């Protein structure tokens, strides 16, 4: 076990400072110094006393009720997980500039939301507060850790499930997002993965990918209208040839429940029978999925595991000062409902 002297030398303070900090609750010391000493105690195994000050960069895109509900639930789960891990109360900060300004108050941060930050801001944040974990997204993989659902695997799982159920003409509806990294690619990882896996599986999805606009109910409705307008008449002209170039798809994968709600509304209004004519699978498994018409089959993202893993990854990075970034992918699980019935195994 380390000695008091070793802790003091590593932390750059006197032995008396370490002793008073650990034994005198009334001892007054700069917060930054206090955290440094406690972190060194933890690193050297002197005492298990490190309780990091953690900020939450809480800057999701706003204005869409279902997206807001997803992030509201994630906030509550983060608070619950921090409490169960006996961490100090989380501080929620709503802009990257504010977090940079207040960086000295914290040991590290987790971020939630899909807001795209400028590369210069991300680099400035890393310079001020190098320990961070991004939840759901990976905007700067060389700067910060991340914990995300494995959406590429989810797209493959969804395609496999559709094929196993006898669906071969499979469409996709999504929105504009950003691929990971310090580059602004106007493509969401779900769309990119859908195209990639469809090609590997020998599926022709030419003309079957609709991925423009925001992640909103209204945009889901509009894109489903376009899909039906583009392909329903082609179905009538091709008769039994369901695989003709413009024929109506028999399967549809939607990037998120917020879009899928609008998709199902449009399909109902246009008298497209779900799932008989068109089976639908979505992603997120929000509570609304149980109450759509028909109820929505959706891949569940375990928010409790996202939050717990993010906090654990951050603490591990603070304790061990890793030289490499860690990116954790979590699997998703299909919650089957009326919009798609998977084949029996």
Cα–Cα nearest to 275, from 289, 265, 264: 264
Tokens of 258: 């917020």
d(CA 175, CA 228): 18
Q: 175-220: per-residue pLDDT in tens?
A: 986 544 555 556 788 999 999 999 999 999 999 999 998 889 999 9
Please tell me the pTM assigned to this model. Answer: 0.82
Between 42 and 78, the higher pLDDT residue: 78
Contact predicate 61/136, CB 8 Å: no
Q: Say which DSSP state 112 is in.
A: E
CA 98 to chain centre: 22
What is the dihedral angle through the alpha carbons of 60, 61, 67, 70, rounded to the nearest 10 degrees?
0
The pLDDT value given to residue 245: 44
DSSP 291-305: TSSSPPEEEEP-HHH
What are the tens digits of pLDDT across the range 280-318? 999 999 999 999 999 999 999 999 999 999 999 998 888
> Binning pLDDT at 50, 70 and 90, where does residue 121 land?
very high
Instruction: List the 170-174 sheet strands across, edge first.
Output: 209-211, 170-174, 251-254, 279-284, 297-300, 333-335
Greatest Cα pair distance, the chain, in angstroms, is: 87
- Whole-Å CA distances, 122 to 52, 129, 196: 21, 10, 29
d(CA 32, CA 305): 30
Mean pLDDT to the nearest integer, 132-157: 94
Tell me if residue 186 falls in helix, strand or coil: coil
Closest C-alpha to 294, from 341, 327, 345: 341
Q: What average pLDDT score do residues 262-280 get?
A: 98
Confidence band of 243 (pLDDT split at 50, 70, 90): very low
DSSP state at residue 340:
B
Decide: 71 and 94 in contact? Cβ < 8 Å.
no
* Distances in whole angstroms, Cα of residue 144 to Cα of each of 156, 180, 197, 203: 27, 12, 28, 36
Beta-strand ranges (E) seen in the chain are: 54-58, 91-93, 108-112, 132-135, 145-149, 170-174, 209-211, 251-254, 279-284, 297-300, 327-330, 333-335
Tell me what percent of the residues of the chain surpass a pLDDT of 70: 90
Q: Tokens 């032995």 label which residue?
A: 15
Question: Measuring CA to CA, how many Å separate 345 from each of 165, 296, 331?
Answer: 10, 21, 20
pLDDT for the residue 206? 95
53-81 pLDDT per residue, tens: 899 999 876 666 777 888 889 999 999 99
């Amino acid at each position: 076990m380390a000695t008091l002297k070793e802790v003091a030398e590593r932390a750059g303070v006197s032995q008396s400072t370490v002793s008073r900090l650990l034994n005198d609750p009334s001892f007054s010391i700069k917060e930054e110094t206090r955290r440094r000493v406690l972190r060194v105690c933890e690193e050297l195994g002197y005492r298990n006393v490190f309780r990091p000050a953690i900020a939450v960069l809480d800057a999701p895109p706003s204005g869409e009720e279902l997206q807001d509900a997803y992030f509201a639930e994630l906030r509550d789960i983060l608070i619950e997980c921090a409490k169960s891990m006996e961490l100090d109360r989380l501080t929620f900060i709503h802009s990257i500039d504010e977090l940079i300004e207040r960086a000295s108050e914290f040991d590290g941060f987790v971020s939630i939301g899909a807001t795209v930050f400028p590369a210069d801001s991300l680099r400035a944040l890393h310079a001020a507060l190098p320990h961070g974990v991004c939840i759901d997204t990976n905007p700067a993989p060389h700067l910060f850790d991340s914990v995300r659902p494995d959406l590429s695997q989810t797209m493959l799982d969804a395609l496999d499930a559709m094929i196993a159920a006898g669906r071969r003409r499979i469409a996709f509806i999504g929105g504009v997002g950003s691929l990971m990294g310090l580059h602004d690619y106007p493509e969401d990882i779900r769309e990119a993965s859908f195209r990639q896996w469809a090609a590997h599986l020998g599926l022709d999805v030419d003309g079957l990918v609709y991925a423009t606009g925001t992640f909103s109910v209204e945009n889901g409705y509009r894109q489903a209208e376009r899909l039906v307008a583009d392909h329903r008449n082609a179905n009538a002209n091709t008769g039994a040839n369901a695989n003709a170039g413009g024929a109506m798809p028999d399967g549809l994968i939607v990037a998120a429940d917020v879009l899928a709600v609008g998709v199902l509304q449009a399909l109902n209004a246009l008298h497209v029978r779900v799932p008989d004519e068109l089976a639908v699978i979505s992603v997120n498994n929000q509570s609304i999925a149980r109450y759509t018409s028909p109820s929505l089959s959706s891949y569940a993202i375990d928010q409790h595991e996202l939050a717990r893993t993010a906090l654990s990854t951050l603490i591990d990075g603070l304790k061990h000062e890793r030289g490499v970034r860690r990116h954790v992918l979590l699997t998703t699980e299909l919650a089957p409902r009326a919009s798609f019935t998977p084949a029996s195994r």
